[in-house]
Amino acid sequence: MGMIDPSSEPLRQLADRRGVLIGSCVGVEYLRHDPAYRAILEREFNVITPENAMKFELLHPACGRWEFNDADEIVSFAADHDMEVRGHTLVWHRRIPGWIVDGGYRRDELMAILRDHIHTVVGRYRGRVRTWDVVNEALPMPGDASRERSLWRQVIGTEFIELAFHWAHEADPGARLFYNDDHADGLSEKSDAVYGLARRLMDRGVPLHGIGLQMHTGLGWSPSPREIAANIRRFADLGLEVHITEMDVQIQTGHGSPSERWDAQANVYGEILRACLDVPAFKALVMWGVTDRHSWIPDFTGHGDSPLIFDESYRPKPAYNAVARALGTKR
C-alpha cells in the first residue's frame, strides 16, 4: 500500500507550530478495524470529530437508554494520541430518535429531555471534549423545509438555540461552544443569517464561543477564499473563533482529466486554508473524512467522487501536499 513519505513532516506538526488544529471526522468502525486508517489519524491530525457516534439517536436510542461505547472509544483514542475532540452534535433536526419524534411531548417535557441529554453528554466528557458543535444547521435553507419543520423549533420555538448553549455551558463551563452550519462559508444570505444569529446570541449574553463553517464544497462552486476570509473576520469582530468543521471538495462538478481535477482540488484546499490562516481567529481545519474510500459524498450525491486528501489506497493526493504547504508557509 502506498504511504506517506516518512521523512515528510506530519500535518499536525506543521499545525502545532502555527497554533491551529488540523483533523478529520472519524468513523468508529474504521478506527476499530483498519490499522492503516488509525495510523494516518495518529500521524497527521491533532483534532478529530466523531462522524456519527455522538449524534442524538446513536447516543440516546431509547428513553433512559444510553450507548456510549463508540463515543467513548473515539474520545480515549484522542486522549491516547494527544488530540483534541470536537463533539458533534448536541442539537440537530436530523438523527432525532423515534422515541422523541413519536413521543408527542409537550414543550416543557421536550425541554426537559433536551436539557437532560445535553447535561448527560457534555457532563460525561467534561474536560475531555474541549469543543462542542452545540447546535447544527438550525437556520432555514431554501429548498430544505426539514429545517423549519425541526422538532426542536416546532415544539420549543427558536429559543431552543440559546437554551442549548446555556445547558452545555452548565455541564462544562470550560468547553468551547460552537454554532455550526452549512452554505455559510462565503458571503451570502445564509452566512448573513448565521452572522445575525451570532450577534443576537452575543448581545444576549449566551455562552457562544465560535462558529463552525462546514465547507462542503466542490470544483466550480466553492466560495472564493477572499470571501471566506472576510466572513471569518466579521465573526472575529464579534469576539468569536472560527473553525472549518467538515471540509471536502467534490471533483465531479469540475472539468478536465482526473489528474487535472485532483490538481484543481488541491488548489481549492490550499487557497482556502491559506486565506483562513491569515485571520488570527481561524483556529481549525477539520475535513469530513480521511480517505476517499470512506467519504460520505457518494452516498449523499449518488455518484462516485474523491473529495478528500488521501486516495482510496490511503496515498496522499496533491491536496495533501497543498494543505501541508499552506500550513508550512510563514506569514
Binding site for ligand XIL (CB under 6 A): 51-52, 136, 214, 246, 296
Q: Least CB distance from residue 246 to ligand XIL, whole Å?
A: 6
Q: Least CB distance from residue 321 to ligand XIL, whole Å?
A: 25
**105/222 with CB nearer ligand XIL:** 222
Q: Which three cell numbers stand for residue 329?
A: 508557509
Answer whether 49's CB lies under 8 Å from 286's CB.
yes
Q: Least CB distance from residue 288 to ligand XIL, whole Å?
A: 6
Pick the catalytic residue from 137, 159, 170, 260.
137
Closest residue to ligand XIL: CB criterion? 296
**10/180 with CB nearer ligand XIL:** 180
Q: Least CB distance from residue 184 to ligand XIL, whole Å?
A: 12
Report the distance separating Cα 181 and Cα 210, nearest Å. Answer: 12
Cβ neighbours around 73 below 10 Å, total: 16
**105/179 with CB nearer ligand XIL:** 179
Q: Least CB distance from residue 299 to ligand XIL, whole Å?
A: 7
SS (H, E, C) 4-16: CCCCCCCHHHHHH
**269/288 with CB nearer ligand XIL:** 288
Q: Which three cell numbers stand for residue 89?
A: 452534535
The length of the chain is 331
Q: Which three cell numbers stand for residue 28?
A: 468508529
Sequential DSSP letters for 51-108: SSTTSHHHH--BTTB---HHHHHHHHHHHHTT-EEEEEEEE-SSS--HHHHTS---HH
Pick the catalytic residue from 246, 260, 271, 312.
246
Task: Establish whether 162 is a catalytic residue.
Answer: no
**185/318 with CB nearer ligand XIL:** 185
Task: Establish whether 109 is a catalytic residue.
Answer: no
Looking at the DSSP bridge assignments, the partners of residue 267 are none
Name the residues annotated as catalytic. Answer: 137, 246
